[in-house]
Chains A and B, each alone.
Chain A
Amino acid sequence: MTLAGGVASGADQVFVLLKHWLVARTPGPLQALVSILLTIIPIIVVFPALFAVTTVLERKGLGRIQNRYGPNRVGPWGVFQPLADAVKSLTKEDIVPRTADHVVHYLAPLVLVGASFLAYAVLPIGRNMTAVDLDAGVLFFFAIGAATELAVFMAGWSSRNKYSLLGAMRAIAQMISYEIPLILSSVAVVMIAGTLSTAKIVEEQARYSDGLAHWYVFTPWGLAGFILFMIAAMAETNRSPFDLPEGESEIIAGYFIEYSGFKFALFFLAEYLEMFAVSGLGITLFLGGWSAPFSFLTWIPSWIWFFTKLLALIVAFIWVRGTLPRLRMDQLMNFAWKFMLPMTLVVIFAAAVWRFLPHGVAGSVAVGLVVRWLVCALVVAGPYVLLARGLERGRKIEKRTYRYAE
């Protein structure tokens, strides 16, 4: 047991130990620099690699959803497709419109990718594997997330193209609208955990009673909050069905229409990096971060848990993308303000109910848990049903006649 436990904890901490070992072997003045580099470089390598894997997985998955094969030409089963894509985007001509604001046009993709990478600073991708354990980690994450909006608008404005400007406008409207439910749904977690530090939030959830972890997603408010968080995350990262900023049928490619070659690839990369980062935050806040769901699975290294959950969420993103068509602009806004916002407020209230209901009823913790669960579920489900009814009532589906087309 001790040997197995030792091996397990060694595997768990292998990257941390490796980093300490390497830092200890560098001369004193360089230690700080090497430590920083050894923290940053893995993030800069691993997540773009994950991006490459995701692009091919996404195309294969969407293909299968549409009863196609997907890419299968480059390498066995098309696994080397990302390499071909990389060569293609690197060798394409980099075109800058003559009337564009050259400096801003050049900076926009860099700012976007930079902001996307910065978000990873506070993500605990394993036990003791947070790049910067900030006390206000969640706040930092959302602040950096808002910086991507700046980059999007830089791209849209500097291109001097009506489509890119429209795309940027849409993107800003959408991102700001959905940032509110995104933040409010994580406020519930912050309230319960009592901390803004991502590492501490995970540690809160990495406790076990009766073999089951204390993940917030296992509570009614946590489940509702997680679903709302992921919907808002989809909108925040401009993923289908919220990909209006790049709606091909109306505005061709949206804010990055005037970008080609490697700059376009950077936009593409940033979009996926944001998706991974926000999924990572969702994992951190609701899915217990790097912790195992059951206590008998804790021997699996923490970073494997994190990436397993991340892959599961990526699959969910792809699945949703393959299922839902793009929303209309008014539907998008209605959904944000009439459904998401009230529901996140309900979730915050439910979290408060969960927190302040007595933890033990009739001297039993289990009975207390059941009571809390039921009350909390009612607090979430009741408003949901009422809200759904209210939204359905105002909507009349009738045969549409086109007066001028006939």
Chain B
Amino acid sequence: MLGEGIIQGLVETARNFFGSYVEKERLVTVEYPEERLPLPEATRQFPFLLYDGSDAEKGLRCVACQICEKECPPRCIHIEKSKDKKPDFVGKPQAYPAVFNIDVSVCMSCQICVEVCPFDAIRMDTEFELSTSDRFGGLLWTKRELAKPNEYYQKIHPTEAAETDERRAKEAADAKAKAAAAAAAAAAKAAQAASAAATTPTAAAAPAAPGAASGEGAKGTSNGASTNGSSGNGSKPHEVKTVVKP
């Protein structure tokens, strides 16, 4: 009959109307500022910088390698490399960002910076209440606003953080072991060289040929500790030079 559907519809909406006062489960609204849903662990908003320990300046993991700056699709990251260096978590001297700015009004939360970072220094934050009255300065975050402790990371992304921490601990341990082994080898070599020198004094140019070994030895002494120079990457001769020069 004509009009029957309208009556059925009116009954349905009336049922919804009164039902919403009786059955609380009908109202799915979460009244946001007072009530909040727990965020999923994979939530991501904008990047932040991780630091170890309690001092944000000293413990910052970022070494200003600028990979994220280059990879960032909307180019929202701006990094200025420091002139000096400080030791990283394995004790190796590394540069640090003198300036690290992220313009979150440009950032598109793609997480590419996180994926390319070889130092686990940048991660995605879950903070989303970021309104500000200053749309230029207020949305340009500097190093000071970006730096957050590792404990915070462990809190917001527990699974990811545990995985990262485990890997870093292993890396540090490996580095230590390798350094110890290298130091032992160097010591053995030095002892051998010393004995060789003692036995054959004519070989004056001998230390120059195994430059790496002697360089390592020199660096090891100059830095006091014996844990560096172990990564064995391509930049070693360069490092040797810079350290030896002063």
Contacts and interface: CB of A to CB of B under 8 A. Distances in A.
Tell me whether A and B are bound partners. yes
B1 interface: yes
Given A324-B9, A388-B2, A392-B2, A68 B14 contact: no
B20 interface: yes
Interface of B: 1-3, 6, 9-10, 12-14, 16-17, 19-21, 26-29, 31
Contacts of A320: 10
A353 to B, nearest CB: 22
A334 interface: no
Contacts of B3: 388
Contact of A319 (B14, B19, B27): B14
A337 interface: no
Nearest to B28: A67
Contacts of A387: 2
B14 to A, nearest CB: 7
A392 B5 CA distance: 13
A308 interface: no
B101 to A, nearest CB: 34
Given A320-B10, A323-B9, A324-B6, A64 B1 contact: no
Interface string A373-406: 0000000000011011001100000000000000
Interface in A12-53: none
Interface residues of A, number: 20
A328 B188 CA distance: 92
A127 to B, nearest CB: 33
A324 B14 CA distance: 13
A340 to B, nearest CB: 12
B26 A67 contact: yes
A385 B3 CA distance: 11
Contacts of A69: 27, 29, 31
A293 to B, nearest CB: 22
Nearest to B10: A323
A320 to B, nearest CB: 7
25 contacts: A61-B17, A64-B16, A64-B21, A65-B13, A65-B16, A65-B17, A66-B16, A67-B16, A67-B19, A67-B20, A67-B26, A67-B27, A68-B27, A72-B31, A319-B10, A319-B14, A320-B10, A323-B6, A323-B10, A323-B13, A324-B9, A385-B1, A388-B1, A388-B3, A392-B2
Given A64-B17, A66-B16, A67-B20, 20 more contacts: A61-B17, A64-B20, A64-B21, A65-B13, A65-B16, A67-B27, A68-B20, A69-B29, A69-B31, A72-B31, A320-B10, A322-B13, A322-B17, A323-B6, A323-B10, A339-B2, A384-B2, A388-B1, A388-B2, A392-B2
